[in-house]
Amino acid sequence: MSTPQIEFVVLVDDQDHEVGTAEKLDAHRSGTLHRAFSIFVLNRRGQVLMQRRASAKYHSPGLWSNTCCGHPRPGEATIVAASRRLREEMGLHCALRHVGQFVYRAELDGGLIEHELDHVFVGTFEGEPVANPIEVGEWKWVDRHDLDRALADSPTAFTAWLRPALNQVAR
């Protein structure tokens, strides 16, 4: 049986300057600011590919979120990390463009804290993803208007970063 690989994140200041690295779980326990990314994949109709996080995820399990999210590894460019995670989580590839970034802090269940400088990317894709069941419980294409309404009506059904990340995506 193999030992799980320890993942590291890049610690940053509020201007996205690297200040060190930390184990991912330690950064989420301490609330240390670190670099992250959120990806929104859209189809030609402008629908957003949403995923429900797998129930085995260590934080925010079972919550609906954007297409894909994650953290660059130390020494890995954020755009390269975003493309890598999109393949790993959703089994798809598309060109991504950076549309903005924001800093947020959210206290999660289990004493974990998300404190991230989140880079937001958008891409387009037609078809069906091949989601990794370890990462994704289910997925669906959602009209932006319906997503906005669902966020207003049932905010606790969604991840803490979804709304501020979505605000970076032009309508």
Over the stretch 99-140, which tens digit does the pLDDT of each residue have? 999 999 999 988 999 999 999 999 999 999 999 999 999 999
Among all chains, which residue has been given the structure tokens 């949403």?
50
Query: What was the pLDDT predicted at 109?
Result: 87
Taking the C-alpha atoms of residue 108 and residue 65, their distance in angstroms, rounded to an integer, is 15
Q: What letter represents residue 27's amino acid?
A: A
Residues with Cβ within 8 Å of residue 7, at least 6 apart in sequence: 23, 24, 71, 73
Q: Where are the domains of the chain?
A: 8-166
Taking the C-alpha atoms of residue 73 and residue 11, their distance in angstroms, rounded to an integer, is 10
C-beta neighbour count of 28 within 10 angstroms: 22
Is 21 a residue whose pLDDT tops 80?
A: yes
pLDDT tens-digit series, residues 33-46: 999 999 999 999 99
pLDDT tens-digit series, residues 150-162: 999 999 999 999 9
Is 169 a residue whose pLDDT tops 70?
A: yes
What is the rounded (10 degree) CA torsion for 4, 12, 118, 96? -80
Active site residues: 69, 116
Confidence class for position 4, pLDDT limits 50, 70, 90: low
Listed residue (85, 84, 114, 112) closest to 102, CA to CA? 114
β-pairing verdict for 34-42 and 18-23: unpaired
Is 63 a residue whose pLDDT tops 80?
A: yes
Taking the C-alpha atoms of residue 28 and residue 116, their distance in angstroms, rounded to an integer, is 9
pLDDT cut 90: percent of the chain above it: 94
CA-atom Rg of the chain in angstroms: 15
Phi-psi region of 34 (alpha: psi -120 to 50; beta: other; left: phi over 0): beta
Q: Specify the CATH number for 8-166; select among 3.40.50.720, 3.40.50.300, 3.90.79.10, 3.30.43.10.
A: 3.90.79.10
pLDDT tens-digit series, residues 84-99: 999 999 999 999 999 9
8 Å CB contact between 88 and 74? no
> Residues 22, 73, 35, 49: is their CA dihedral positive or negative?
negative
Confidence class for position 82, pLDDT limits 50, 70, 90: very high
Query: What was the pLDDT predicted at 129?
Result: 97
Taking the C-alpha atoms of residue 123 and residue 145, their distance in angstroms, rounded to an integer, is 19
pLDDT cut 70: percent of the chain above it: 97
